[in-house]
């Protein structure tokens, strides 16, 4: 089987749990809710303050099971778009049927992950006020800073001059620890000079606020009628001055989202390594990559510049962890040392840097944003769930989304 049996996955996780005695492990790419459409409404808190479920859906904690490695596949973009249109939202409802601290802590405890970076994303149509409402909801639902750090993002509707004030407001209100920019979902065409300038305004804001930036990179999206696939391509990003931010810039998916192994080997990796050489603050995460692309990145990119990311819940977190460890083993690396570097040492020095919170900015230095909401209300610490039942339905959907639907979709009808 081109994958891992349950006992093989469990063996890798046992190694990781043993290593946690001496170091912490981080996931730098997790989505706190379904970001492709942001159309799901969860019920008010019921018996558990740390859990929200869609109407008619219960929660079953994740469990280790055998799984196949996701593979890259070349499919006619128009045909795929039509074929999956009717089932897409249904699949996503299963994957994000439940959200909240309990859901992610169960995944983290199973996967050996100590802390994650939550990445909210505004849709193209999202206003400053509506995204502020979303940020307030996220900060209330994931208030345990021992396990969750929250990133912010900038709605594409904001003008260049409004980027920095909005970022400052997010820092003050919600204590964000990083910024996220997803050109495809947010509809930011980095092929245009005006949007390159917009992104550089965001980079300057990150420098002033000392915030790392997680930037989606890739191409070949078959969704949005295939029109946005190259919005965040390396070909466009090479023309942006990523060094404007003195803080780390992390190219999500190693800039290779949805690229085929041949494209990655012949086109993307040579360009990526030139960018890494040019920009000392540039790093990559390995979230959402199929197995062969993952191996190519691990084989070709300096491990000092690689951060672990899972893309949970679109991908089962433990699957991303164990698949990465297995890839390192197949490539002949010392699994323990290499995984500690990319999932502990590197994230700790780039993203999860202890010290003064950005939320400690003087209030008179933070400009107001029209339509902004109230401050963050922590949920508080959560009880640990000891329930690890086989979640077959969730596993099967996440396996599909790992290579078919990660961070790309069609608007719900």
Q: Residues 17-64: pLDDT tens digits?
A: 999 999 999 999 999 999 988 889 887 655 577 999 997 778 999 999
What tens digit of pLDDT does each residue of 243-302 get? 999 999 999 999 999 899 999 999 999 999 999 999 999 999 999 999 999 999 999 999
* pLDDT (0 to 100) of residue 138: 97
* pLDDT (0 to 100) of residue 89: 72
Spatial separation of the C-alpha atoms in residues 141 and 171, rounded to whole Å: 17
CB 27 within 8 A of CB 309: yes
Write the Ramachandran bin of 303: left for phi over 0, alpha for psi from -120 to 50, otherwise beta.
Answer: alpha
Q: Residue 149's beta-bridge partner residues?
A: 117
Over the range 171-200, which residues count as b (16 or more CB within 10 Å of their CB) and which as e? bbbbbbbbbbbbbbbbbbbbeeeebbebbb
CB 188 within 8 A of CB 230: no
* pLDDT (0 to 100) of residue 14: 98
Spatial separation of the C-alpha atoms in residues 239 and 191, rounded to whole Å: 9
Count of other CB atoms within 10 angstroms of residue 123: 21
Q: 3-401 belongs to which homologous superfamily?
A: Metal-dependent hydrolases (3.20.20.140)
**What's the predicted TM-score (pTM) here?**
0.86
Establish whether the linkage from the previous residue to 268 is cis, with ω within 30° of 0. no
Higher-scoring residue by pLDDT: 397, 257: 257
CB 217 within 8 A of CB 237: yes
Give the residue extent of every domain in the chain. 3-401
Q: What distance lies between CA 247 and its chain's CA centroid? A: 18
Helices (H), ranges, 99-192 = 101-111, 128-141, 160-174, 183-186
CB 98 within 8 A of CB 54: yes
Spatial separation of the C-alpha atoms in residues 73 and 291, rounded to whole Å: 12
Q: What are phi and psi of 125, to 5 degrees?
A: -85, 0
pLDDT of residue 390 exceeding 70, the answer is no
Q: What distance lies between CA 152 and its chain's CA centroid? A: 12
């Amino acid at each position: 089987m081109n994958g891992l049996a349950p006992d093989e996955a469990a063996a890798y996780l046992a190694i990781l749990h043993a290593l946690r005695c001496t170091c912490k492990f981080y996931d730098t790419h997790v989505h706190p809710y379904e970001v492709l459409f942001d159309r799901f409404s969860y019920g008010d808190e019921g018996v558990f303050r740390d859990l929200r479920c869609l109407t008619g859906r219960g929660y079953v904690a994740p469990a280790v099971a055998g799984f196949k490695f996701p593979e890259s596949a070349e499919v006619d973009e128009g045909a795929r778009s039509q074929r999956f249109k009717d089932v897409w939202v249904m699949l996503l409802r299963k994957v994000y049927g439940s959200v909240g601290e309990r859901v992610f802590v169960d995944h983290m405890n199973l996967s050996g992950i100590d802390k994650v970076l939550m990445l909210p994303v505004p849709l193209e149509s999202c206003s400053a006020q509506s995204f502020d409402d979303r940020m307030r909801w996220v900060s209330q639902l994931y208030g345990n800073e021992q396990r969750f750090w929250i990133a912010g993002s900038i709605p594409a509707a904001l003008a260049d001059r409004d980027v920095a004030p909005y970022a400052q407001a997010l820092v003050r209100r919600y204590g964000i620890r990083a910024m996220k920019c997803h050109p495809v979902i947010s509809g930011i065409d980095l092929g245009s000079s005006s949007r390159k300038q917009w992104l550089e305004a965001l980079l300057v804001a990150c420098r002033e606020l000392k915030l790392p930036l997680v930037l989606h990179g890739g191409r070949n999206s078959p969704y949005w009628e295939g029109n946005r696939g190259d919005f965040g391509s390396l070909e466009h990003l090479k023309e942006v001055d990523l060094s404007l931010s003195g803080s780390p810039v992390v190219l999500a998916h190693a800039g290779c989202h949805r690229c085929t192994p041949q494209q990655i080997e012949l086109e993307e990796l040579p360009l990526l390594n030139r960018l890494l050489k040019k920009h000392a603050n540039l790093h990559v995460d390995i979230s959402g990559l199929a197995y062969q692309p993952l191996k190519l990145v691990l084989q070709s990119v300096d491990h000092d510049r690689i951060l672990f990311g899972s893309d949970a819940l679109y991908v089962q977190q433990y699957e991303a962890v164990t698949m990465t460890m297995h890839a390192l083993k197949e490539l002949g690396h010392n699994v323990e040392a290499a995984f500690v570097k990319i999932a502990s040492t590197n994230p700790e020095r780039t993203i999860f840097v202890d010290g003064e919170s950005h939320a400690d900015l003087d209030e008179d230095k933070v400009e107001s944003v029209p339509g902004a909401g109230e401050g963050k209300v922590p949920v508080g610490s959560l009880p640990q769930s000891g329930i690890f039942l086989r979640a077959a339905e969730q596993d099967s959907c996440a396996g599909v989304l790992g290579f078919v639907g990660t961070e790309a979709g069609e608007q719900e009808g």
